[in-house]
Amino acid sequence: MKSPATKTLLINSEQLFDGFKVMHDASVLVKGGKIVEVGRRDFRADKTLETSFLMPGLIDMHVHVAGYTEDFRDPFKAVKNFLNLLLYNGVTAVRDVGNYLETKFFVEKWREKNPAPLFFSSGPMLDEPPLKWFHSRAVSSIDEAKTQVRRLHFEGMDLIKVYDGVKPKTLKAIVDEAHSKGLRVAGHLGATSAIEAAKIGIDTIEHAGKLLDKSYVGDAEKGDGSGKEIAEMFKIWCKADLSSERVKELIQILVERGTYVCPTLLVLRRSVYVEEGLKDPNIDYMEKVMPYQKYFKYMRNPLSRLLFSKRFKKFMPFMLTKEDRELARKGFEKISEFVGMLAKAGVKIIAGTDSPNPFIVPGFSLHQELELLVQAGLKPLQALKSATSTAAEALGKNLGVIEQGALANLLLIDGNPIKHVRDLEKIEDIILEGKVLERDELANRIE
């Protein structure tokens, strides 16, 4: 973003959440895209705004800014729509944890002339063969792992993302090399357990459902051979004893090592409660990001559901059987309960959505994720921190806070998200690097 349109901007607020605490009748003075003063209403400025509630812009800590379009004249149209949806919903920064290099380069160029969230990317994920994603890079040895980290650092990536095939020895090499370059490491775990990863020094663990594995329920849990990873995961959680000593040890290690956990509860919930996803009015926006999701809205009608059932199953690889769904509901509730336990114990929770998975609409989904965190047991203030100050801390960036010297990414809200997180939907204006963006204007940018 370029320099803001006004020289100085003053925002007077009845309540101000600075990323840590709430202040009453407070003001923020912005100049040059940054916050220069925070305090009582005694500042002067070129432009003044009044609001009920002022807070830092939101940060979605787990996205894949991707999509596709059939318009070959503009191959990044879906990415533009993704960014516009994020910004409309007050998401002023994202952590992209798995993508092509070209996406990062495009977004950086796009931001020079267009309002868009700050974009922190891991680029291609690192994984041990066989690779699960086209944009992953193979690390078949420790030397290769170090080389790939150095390569991503040279290519300008902001962090490293490892996928579920990475084993402990390889992960240690990746973490050590990344930290030597000042890069943090995020992990979608599998071959390495959560407790091993935390001891090695991984910075963030993605997906609360990956925190427990079969070792927590004994050798008897072998699964039914269906190959449905998500069904097997829920079965493990159904059987797991959350009061066991092993679970307590995991929580203790996460706290001691300062490991951040990104639960991504919404994507888990939508895999269990498919009807809830179908009824979400915001999925209509997804056609401009992932065109195949147009079939989902057809499924609202019983006749269309019958006609398009094969297509529906094709695009829903994690569809659960009727038998699995009952277990999955119980499993999801235990995962949610565990997230509340983590927060209560002092584990650092960061909010992420895993958009654009089915029914996970960019921007809107972060509001929904924060509601689920509150339902899991976090207080609304803790939930807001998970998408502001704690998220920024996990990134290692001076964002997500309202304090002198911080970047002026702010939300003006006609409500009180501290009482009701759902009030995040009542955004009036968005301040992006000091520039005022009217929400109605942002709505016009969404196709």
Q: Please write the tens of the pLDDT for every residue from 137-188.
A: 999 999 999 999 999 999 999 999 999 999 999 999 999 999 999 999 999 9
E strand residue ranges, 283-438: 348-349, 410-413, 427-432, 435-438
Q: Which residues contact 99 (CB under 8 A, 6 or more apart)?
A: 64, 65, 66, 121, 122, 123, 124, 135
Residues 265 and 147: their CA atoms lie apart, in Å, by 34
- Beta-carbon count within 10 A of 434 CB: 23
Residue 314: pLDDT above 50?
yes
Per this entry, what is the length of the chain?
447
Residues 45 and 436: their CA atoms lie apart, in Å, by 14
Predicted confidence at residue 3, as pLDDT, reads: 46
Predicted confidence at residue 317, as pLDDT, reads: 54
Predicted confidence at residue 231, as pLDDT, reads: 87
Residues 421 and 378: their CA atoms lie apart, in Å, by 11
HSE, side-chain direction, 13 A CA sphere, residue 136: 19
- Domain borders along the chain are 1-56+400-442, 58-399
CATH of the structural domain 58-399, one choice from 3.40.50.720, 3.20.20.140, 3.40.190.10, 3.40.640.10: 3.20.20.140
Q: What is the pLDDT of residues 32-70, one digit of tens each?
A: 999 999 987 677 889 999 999 999 999 999 999 999 887
Average pLDDT, the chain: 92
Which secondary structure element, helix H or strand E, spans residue 13, and what is its range? strand 8-17
Could you give the angle at the alpha carbon of 125 between the alpha carbons of 145 and 200, nearest 5°? 55
Residue 215: pLDDT above 90?
yes
E strand residue ranges, 65-128: 91-96, 118-121, 126-127
Is residue 24 within 8 A of residue 10, CB to CB? The reply is no
Considering 3-17, 263-277, 293-307, 364-378, the range whose residues carry the highest mean pLDDT is 364-378
Residues 191 and 267: their CA atoms lie apart, in Å, by 22
Is residue 214 within 8 A of residue 236, CB to CB? The reply is yes
Q: Which two tokens stand for residue 337?
A: 């309960």
Work out the pLDDT band at 4, boundaries 50, 70, 90.
Answer: very low
| Higher per-residue pLDDT: 408 or 298 | 408
For residue 358, whether the previous peptide bond is cis, meaning omega lies within 30 degrees of 0, is: no
Predicted confidence at residue 315, as pLDDT, reads: 64
Mean pLDDT, residues 185-208 taken together: 98
Model-level pTM?
A: 0.94
Residues 203 and 174: their CA atoms lie apart, in Å, by 12
Q: Which two tokens stand for residue 187?
A: 């992990």
CA 21 to chain centre: 22
Q: What would the CATH number be for the domain defined by 1-56+400-442?
A: 2.30.40.10
CA 389 to chain centre: 14
149 Rama sector, left if φ>0, alpha if ψ -120 to 50, beta otherwise: alpha
Give the Å distances, CA to CA, from 433 to 21, 56, 424: 22, 11, 20
Predicted confidence at residue 324, as pLDDT, reads: 84
Give the Å distances, CA to CA, from 132 to 45, 162, 163, 186, 438: 53, 12, 9, 17, 41
